[in-house]
């Protein structure tokens, strides 16, 4: 299957360019921080660390991935290949979600998470969601500085409501926000608002798909 080959290729590329090494180092640093936190802060600290970094990995790195593939003319090749947009998007999101979930699982153990399965589910879902958002944003940029400028407001929209939730502002409507829903799962809480993540995932997927098709059509026309 093409999706399996794509996934293997993405994992190899991420290993080659140090994604796994970087997150091994970051995980060790975060684990060290969690190990010295007071016991009554550990659960919240663990959830915040995972939500703000491993779960959001794809949002931060997708721009670099796309720019790298453009520089290597990988995207031009894909534009005229049988690879479907869905396969490309799922492979990218899954491969990055794997790194996120591995790092989060280790931090969950160190931080004494009340529910490791929910933590992993929340991290995996959040990583898939944020990776697709990052992919949609990354298709329209040509430099890493542009990607940073594009993602700053996205980060505010994603993380802002979650910060309000942690601070104690919790109207039920805010629970439908994707950032809040992901944070809730990571922190070991689940309720009906978590179902909203399915809708957010679908919206992110179709947005990423449309952006990818637009980009590859342009690259394909240039190649031809």
Dihedral of the alpha carbons of 187, 188, 194, 199, in degrees to the nearest 10: 60
Q: Is 127 helix (H, G, I), strand (E, B) or coil?
A: helix
Rounded to an integer, what distance in angstroms lies between the CA atom of residue 209 and that of residue 165? 31
User: Which domain range does residue 183 map to?
Assistant: 2-223
CB 129 within 8 A of CB 145: no
Q: How many residues does the chain have?
A: 224
User: Burial code of 57-83, b = ≥16 C-beta within 10 A, e = fewer?
Assistant: bbbbbbbebbbebbeeeebbebbeeeb
CB 63 within 8 A of CB 144: yes
Rounded to an integer, what distance in angstroms lies between the CA atom of residue 82 and that of residue 144? 28
Q: Tell me the HSE value of 178 on the side-chain side, using a 13 A CA sphere.
A: 23
Rounded to an integer, what distance in angstroms lies between the CA atom of residue 124 and that of residue 101? 6
pLDDT, one tens digit for every residue, the chain (224 residues): 788 888 998 999 899 888 899 899 999 999 999 989 888 888 889 999 999 887 787 887 887 888 888 777 777 777 777 888 899 999 999 999 999 999 999 999 999 888 999 999 999 999 999 999 989 988 888 788 888 888 888 888 988 999 999 888 989 889 899 999 999 999 988 877 778 899 999 999 999 999 988 887 766 565 55
Q: How many domains does the chain have?
A: 1
Phi, psi (5° rounding) for residue 223? Answer: -65, -45
CA 27 remoteness from chain centre = 16
Phi-psi region of 4 (alpha: psi -120 to 50; beta: other; left: phi over 0): alpha
Q: Is 143 helix (H, G, I), strand (E, B) or coil?
A: coil
Q: What is the pTM of this model?
A: 0.90
Candidates 107, 123, 124, 85; CA nearest to 215 is 85
Rounded to an integer, what distance in angstroms lies between the CA atom of residue 68 and that of residue 80? 18
User: In this structure, what token pair is assigned to residue 15?
Assistant: 């290993």
């Amino acid at each position: 299957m093409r999706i399996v080959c794509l996934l293997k290729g993405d994992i190899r590329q991420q290993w080659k360019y140090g994604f796994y090494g970087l997150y091994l180092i970051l995980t060790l640093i975060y684990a060290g921080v969690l190990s010295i936190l007071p016991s009554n802060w550990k659960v919240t600290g663990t959830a915040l660390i995972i939500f703000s970094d491993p779960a959001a990995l794809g949002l931060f790195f997708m721009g670099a991935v796309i720019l790298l593939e453009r520089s290597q003319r990988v995207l031009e090749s894909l534009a005229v290949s049988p690879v479907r947009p869905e396969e490309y998007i799922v492979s990218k999101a899954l491969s990055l979600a794997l790194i996120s979930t591995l790092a989060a699982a280790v931090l969950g153990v160190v931080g004494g998470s009340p529910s490791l399965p929910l933590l992993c589910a929340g991290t995996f879902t959040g990583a898939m969601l944020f990776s697709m958002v990052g992919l949609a944003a990354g298709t329209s940029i040509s430099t890493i500085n542009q990607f940073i400028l594009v993602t700053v407001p996205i980060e505010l929209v994603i993380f802002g409501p979650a910060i309000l939730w942690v601070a104690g502002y919790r109207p039920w409507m805010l629970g439908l926000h994707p950032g809040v829903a992901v944070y809730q799962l990571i922190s070991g809480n689940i309720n009906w608002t978590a179902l909203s993540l399915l809708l957010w995932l679908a919206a992110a997927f179709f947005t990423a798909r449309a952006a990818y098709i637009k980009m590859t059509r342009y690259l394909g026309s240039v190649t031809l």
